[in-house]
A and B are shown apart, each in its own frame.
Chain A
Amino acid sequence: MKKFYCFLTYILIIAVHIFPLSIKVRTFDHNDFTRVVFESDSRFSYVMERGSERDLTLFVKDKPGNILLRSDLSGSELLIRVENITNGEDPGIKVKGSERFDILKTFVLNDPFRVVFDVNRKTGSSEPAPAVTESEENQNEYGSDSSEIRTVKKKRSSIGVICIDPGHGGSDLGAVGVKDTKEKSITLKVSNKLKKIIERELGIRIVMTRESDVEVALDSRVAKANNQNAQLFLSIHVNSSYRKSARGPETYFVSLKATDKVSSQLAMKENSSFNGMDDVPEDDDLKMILWSMAQTEHIRESSRLAEYIQDELNILLNTKNRGVKQAPFRVLMRASMPAVLIEIAFVSNKYEENRLRDDSFLDKVAGSIYTGVSKFIYYYNSTFK
């Protein structure tokens, strides 16, 4: 009897090697993602691993032996190579990309059995890519009890788009100094400088709310940032006060409790059972109320962003004890991303107006804002990746 079992095992081992698991890998580029499909005639359990941001490996569990690999990568420019690898006894298939990529979604289909990954090019940051969320894992329509995703992490896109908002413009001059220094001109200059530095140093796409001396409605500015899916919003301004001695940079993020409406909205949100806007009922008024407090979701990050920028401006302008400030800025309230308003200096102060007229000073201001932003991006990626 014992010999019989040994014989069966032997036959089984031979069969596994004679009839390996056949998997076909095919890829296809869609408009905003690339799909990679692992297709097989028989079901298998799998584990997905990522060795780097440029690859994706599917290890087959409980089916030792080789994989008969066939591939068709002609449909994709992103995924360019596929190869067999092993991890101990588990055979696997590694798919390599021409660029770093994020995994958007994974799911399983049957008849025939397919494991599908949707990926897209990773933009901007050099930080490691986020993987799949637990909720997305649960989106597996057909269930994948025998499968597991080892790289489950909190998904948060890294910074790919930043919106820069040069304050005022056109007939809206903004604050004007005694030497006729116009806020609208200074904000545009600094914004253009900042745009160039960020694009050059970080490779992040910049969306400008205005690129010339035109008037743009306040609400349109933040709408543009939201529509372009910007992940940071930087509104650049020049300050003014009746107190002529007022000077120094000020960086603001929105205040939630300053105005009665926002305060009560916040209370309503805190007291309600829903956590996000997706769950909001059909009531248009309620939707509008929640829309007007879009910034509440990002208040902590906005605060951190403001701190990083303010610290850099303090160093540049040698100002001490200047913390970040909160106020109910209209342009920030509806921003659905971390958002700050930066007041570079006071044009109402004689000394600072002279500095604002100096182009090399504006270069330094843009450099300081860039440093603050890049520190925030590092923090953001390390916290939310």
Chain B
Amino acid sequence: MNKKIIYILISLAVIFFVTSLIIYLSSSGTFKRAIEDKKGDNEVLEETAPELEKVKIFFLTNRSSLFLPKEYEIEKKEDRIEFLKNFLDLMMNESSNFISPFPEQTRLQSVFYIGDKQMAVLDFNEELIINFPGGSRGEIEFIYFFVDNLCYNFKEIKKVKILVAGNEYKTLSGHLDLENPYNPDYKYFRR
């Protein structure tokens, strides 16, 4: 056999071997990392396995003039503000399956909790005022949907103040006073 051919074959074998080795090593590393990652994920999941907290939200329906209850379990949070936000998110989105006592475009811009006053402050966007259809009953349904549900489910909340676009308004549409925070009035709930 030609000596030149032998060198070529040996070189090819070396290249093949080295390439195979590189591929093997690299692929096994990725796999290992993947396993580690997967393992890590599982560990994280195990560590933060959500502890659930039962809440009862009262919704407006066509069946009754009173708010009717529905129970949910939502993820418990150490940060109670986060939990409050999740609760409000559930309230506002879930209410689409019932009767939403607010205009469709209404969004909650921000939520505060003033500890020394035990007061939650809800700041809605301006669409609430612009599109609110009016009526005393409509205002009562809107205000107490939030006030009663929050005070009922959060023992640290004793009153709720409603702002619109960061501002204090006298009323929503000419009826109930909005300048003062509200205490709960559970006569609107069917418990």
Which residues does chain B contribute within 8 Å of A168, judged by CB atoms?
134, 174
At the interface, yes or no: B123 with Cβ under 8 Å from chain A? no
Closest chain A residue to B175, Cβ basis: A329
Give the Cβ gap from A318 to chain B, nearest Cβ, in Å. 17
Stretch in contact with the other chain, from B27-35, B42-50, B72-80, B136-144: B136-144
Is the interface on chain B under 10, 10 to 19, 20 to 34, or 35 or more residues? 20 to 34
Closest chain A residue to B185, Cβ basis: A258
Are A330 and B176 touching (Cβ within 8 A)?
yes
Are A245 and B137 touching (Cβ within 8 A)?
no
Which residues does chain B contribute within 8 Å of A343, judged by CB atoms?
135-137
Are A176 and B134 touching (Cβ within 8 A)?
yes
At the interface, yes or no: A128 with Cβ under 8 Å from chain B? no
Q: Could you say which of B61, B135, B159, B177 contacts A329, with CB atoms under 8 Å apart? A: B177
Which residues does chain B contribute within 8 Å of A341, judged by CB atoms?
136, 175
Are B182 and A258 touching (Cβ within 8 A)?
yes
On whether A346 and B135 interact (CB within 8 A), knowing A259-B183, A260-B183, A261-B181, the answer reads: yes
At the interface, yes or no: B60 with Cβ under 8 Å from chain A? yes
Stretch in contact with the other chain, from A4-12, A27-35, A84-92, A234-242: A234-242
A147-191 residues at the B interface, CB under 8 angstroms: 167-168, 172-176, 183
A183 and B139 CA atoms in complex are apart in Å by: 15
On whether A257 and B60 interact (CB within 8 A), knowing A175-B133, A241-B138, the answer reads: no
Are A330 and B170 touching (Cβ within 8 A)?
yes
Closest chain A residue to B64, Cβ basis: A243
Q: What residues of chain B have their CB less than 8 Å away from a CB belonging to chain A?
A: 60-62, 65, 99-102, 119, 133-138, 140-141, 159, 170-171, 173-177, 179-183, 185
Q: Given known contacts A218-B170, A242-B102, A261-B181, what 17 new A-B pairs fall within 8 Å (CB)? A: A174-B173, A175-B173, A176-B133, A240-B133, A243-B61, A243-B62, A259-B180, A327-B140, A328-B176, A329-B175, A329-B176, A330-B179, A331-B174, A331-B175, A343-B136, A343-B137, A348-B138
Of the A-B pairs whose beta carbons lie under 8 Å apart in the complex, a sample of 22, sorted by A's number, is A174-B174, A175-B134, A176-B133, A183-B134, A240-B137, A242-B99, A242-B133, A244-B62, A245-B62, A259-B177, A259-B181, A259-B182, A259-B183, A260-B180, A260-B181, A262-B180, A263-B183, A328-B176, A328-B182, A329-B136, A348-B133, A348-B135
